[in-house]
Amino acid sequence: MAKRLSKEEKYRASVCFECGCIPTKKKLEEILIEKGEELEILKYVTDQFGIEVGEAITVEGLASKEEIHYAAANYNWDDGNFDVLNAFLDHPKCDAGTANMLYWKGSGFHAAKFSSSKQEKHFYEKLLSKFKERGFATYQIAFDPYDELFVPSLDECLEQGYEIPGYLFCQYSTMKVDTD
């Protein structure tokens, strides 16, 4: 059975991802100063939560590995914002299971081979390096890429020349976090 976040943890993580996963308090302050479209969207979202714009929860403001995992699982990948993805990865409480999920959700195996974006390549290189160096705060959240149907077929791997490190297939724990 998946671990459920407390009501407070789920609220904080939900505010974070609904507000667009603003990476840092500094970035939030920039949005407040610029007074552009991002601020208007943020005002709308924070109104839905009944909070002031300055009270939006940033990625760096998430308080637990479970909150980070929940927000990352609900992150809108269409944004393509590597500042956000790096904020998840660099958070001092980021669990290996969350990083594993980011790799598979973002098709890191494909990006490593075909991406023309330096930011994208750097993100996945840094992610893989943290695994090799055992650089995560904890190894307690399970993520199974097979269960989530993220693993490409053998034929696709061979045809595309994907090289996927074995440690990305490992579940580091049996604790799943409910991300719905």
Q: How far is the C-alpha of 5 from the C-alpha of 35, rounded, in Å?
A: 34
Nearest residue to 166 via CA among 138, 137, 128: 128
Q: Give domain status of residue 180, yes or no.
A: no
pLDDT band at 154 (very low <50, low <70, confident <90, very high): very high
pLDDT band at 38 (very low <50, low <70, confident <90, very high): very high
Q: Give domain status of residue 176, yes or no.
A: no
Q: Hunting for tokens 């507000």 — which residue is that?
A: 19
With 0.85 as the threshold, say if the pTM is over it.
yes
pLDDT tens-digit series, residues 70-109: 999 999 887 778 999 999 999 999 999 999 999 999 888 8
Q: Give domain status of residue 82, yes or no.
A: yes
What local confidence, expressed as pLDDT, does residue 71 receive?
96
Q: How far is the C-alpha of 11 from the C-alpha of 34, rounded, in Å?
A: 27
Distances (CA, A) of 55 to 11, 128, 173: 13, 33, 33
**At 109, phi and psi to the nearest 5?**
-60, -35
Q: How many residues does the chain have?
A: 180
Average pLDDT across the chain, whole number: 90
Q: Give domain status of residue 2, yes or no.
A: no
Which residue segment(s) compose the domain that 127 sits in?
7-169
How many domains, the chain? Answer: 1
What local confidence, expressed as pLDDT, does residue 135 receive?
93
